[in-house]
Amino acid sequence: MIGISGIGVVSGYGWGREPLWDGLVGGKPAAQLVGGYGEHEAWVALVPDGGDPEDGPSRFARAMRAAAREAITDAGARGWRPGRRVGLLHAVVLGEVDLWRDFYTARDMRVPVREFLGLMPSTPMSTLMQEYGFHGPAMNVSAMCASGNAALITAKAWIDAGVVDDVVLVATDLSATPENVGHFVRLGVAITDADPLDACRPFQEGSRGFTVGEASVAMVLSRRCADPYLNLLGGAMSHDAHHVTSIDPQLTQVLGCFQDALANAGVDAASVRYLNAHGPGTQQCDRAEAAVVEQLFSPHTEIYSVKPLTAHCQGAASAIEVAAAALGNARGLVPASPIVAAAHPRLLDGPTPFADGIIVKSSLGMGGHNSVVVLAPAA
């Protein structure tokens, strides 16, 4: 079994996995009203300032290193000892957004060479590998909102193939700038003008879309930990090859991805207890995942989404949602968001006692990136 052996989180709730957990079980969205997003204040879940200045000048670099350190320390406390070949996978869609903007505008591309190197997506990875003396491969993974799931599937493939002994996985997205958020609003999927629990209602009537958030989430994946949070059984990815934003309404590839993931994990659909859904609150995604639940899973499979609380953390979305599931399993609670309107009959309403069973985590990235991972409680 490949265990999720350590967890580290930097999110809109603050620096550390405990602020994330407290926010989830308290049912309080991470998003706050902030200025600079147009004429009015906007609801956005920004990572607050913090971290070690020695890790770099940006929130991005500091958050990535802080999340990784917390996960590595946590894994060590749970019995993990690094093998000879520890690899690093960094799931990222948009990297040093703030620094690149300053590079081209405020600084007219005139920066010292050392600062220029800090803009490269490989640099925070290289410095983390150097800090711990890890010598396995280090690579970025990018698949839009599905990037975290893609990194989990890649990590399992590396370990199964004997390429590495262990993997440190980090997913980082601190790209909720006014420009980026504004484009998602124009696409008709992001909501900034309403309380997150009112705007983002996955699998409920009246949902308008999602609130935009930021996060860096790290996990240690290993077969050599005495006390993992969850076991990663398998997964699958596919692509709709249909449209740059829309899901193929036939759902052929989406459903097939779920089926392939279960087959890869050696799990029967009837044994799935929870779908930790992508659940962004958009009509097409909610419709797609609800259809999969009704067509594929048994009546006892229940659904939840944490996006109304964490917000949609883009390239780090599936990673923070897996972390929520892992922490919930360890603490005996499913950290579901509260129901605020008429809902799908299988949707969980707020924190719910965890019933032992298989968890399926789906993530449907914009442009047709389908991904599903299958998780099981540690024996």
Q: Which pLDDT belongs to residue 154? A: 98
Query: Which of the pair, 39 or 287, is modelled with greater confidence?
Result: 287
Question: How confident is the model over 39-61, as a mean pLDDT?
Answer: 92
Is residue 181 within 8 A of residue 37, CB to CB? The reply is: yes
Whether residue 109 has pLDDT greater than 90: no
Distance CA 281, CA 24 (A): 17
Question: How confident is the model over 53-69, as a mean pLDDT?
Answer: 93
Q: Which pLDDT belongs to residue 305? A: 98
* Greatest C-alpha distance within the chain: 60
pLDDT band, residue 205 (cuts 50/70/90): very high
Is residue 222 within 8 A of residue 76, CB to CB? The reply is: no
Phi, psi angle pair for 185, to nearest 5°: -65, -45
Whether residue 114 has pLDDT greater than 80: no
What share of the chain in percent tops pLDDT 90?
81
pLDDT band, residue 16 (cuts 50/70/90): very high
Average pLDDT score over the chain: 93
Residue type for position 205:
E
Question: How confident is the model over 335-342, as a mean pLDDT?
Answer: 97
pLDDT band, residue 242 (cuts 50/70/90): confident
Domain, as residue range, for 181: 2-377
Whether residue 98 has pLDDT greater than 90: no
CA pseudo-torsion sign 241, 245, 247, 248: negative
Distance CA 103, CA 181 (A): 20
Phi, psi angle pair for 322, to nearest 5°: -65, -40
What share of the chain in percent tops pLDDT 70?
98
**CATH number of the domain bearing residue 241:** 3.40.47.10
Q: Which pLDDT belongs to residue 181? A: 93
Write down the residue that tokens 């995942």 correspond to.
289
Write down the residue that tokens 């299988």 correspond to.
346
Q: Which pLDDT belongs to residue 112? A: 77
Q: Which pLDDT belongs to residue 57? A: 83
DSSP class of residue 336 equals P
Is residue 75 within 8 A of residue 134, CB to CB? The reply is: no
Whether residue 314 has pLDDT greater than 70: yes
Choose the weakest-confidence range: 18-22, 34-38, 156-160: 34-38
- Residue 252: count other Cβ atoms within 10 Å of its Cβ: 12
pLDDT band, residue 122 (cuts 50/70/90): confident
Kindly give the pairing relationship between strand 358-365 and strand 369-377: antiparallel
Q: Which pLDDT belongs to residue 71? A: 98
Whether residue 100 has pLDDT greater than 70: no
Among the listed residues 23, 90, 27, the one whose alpha carbon sits nearest the alpha carbon of residue 63: 90
Query: What would the pLDDT profile of 340-378 be if each residue is shown by its tens digit?
Result: 999 999 999 999 999 989 999 999 987 779 999 999 998
Is residue 11 within 8 A of residue 314, CB to CB? The reply is: no
Is residue 316 within 8 A of residue 12, CB to CB? The reply is: no
Whether residue 15 has pLDDT greater than 90: yes
Question: How confident is the model over 259-274, as a mean pLDDT?
Answer: 97
Question: How confident is the model over 265-272, as a mean pLDDT?
Answer: 96
Structural domains in the chain (count): 1
Q: Which pLDDT belongs to residue 140? A: 94
Whether residue 65 has pLDDT greater than 70: yes
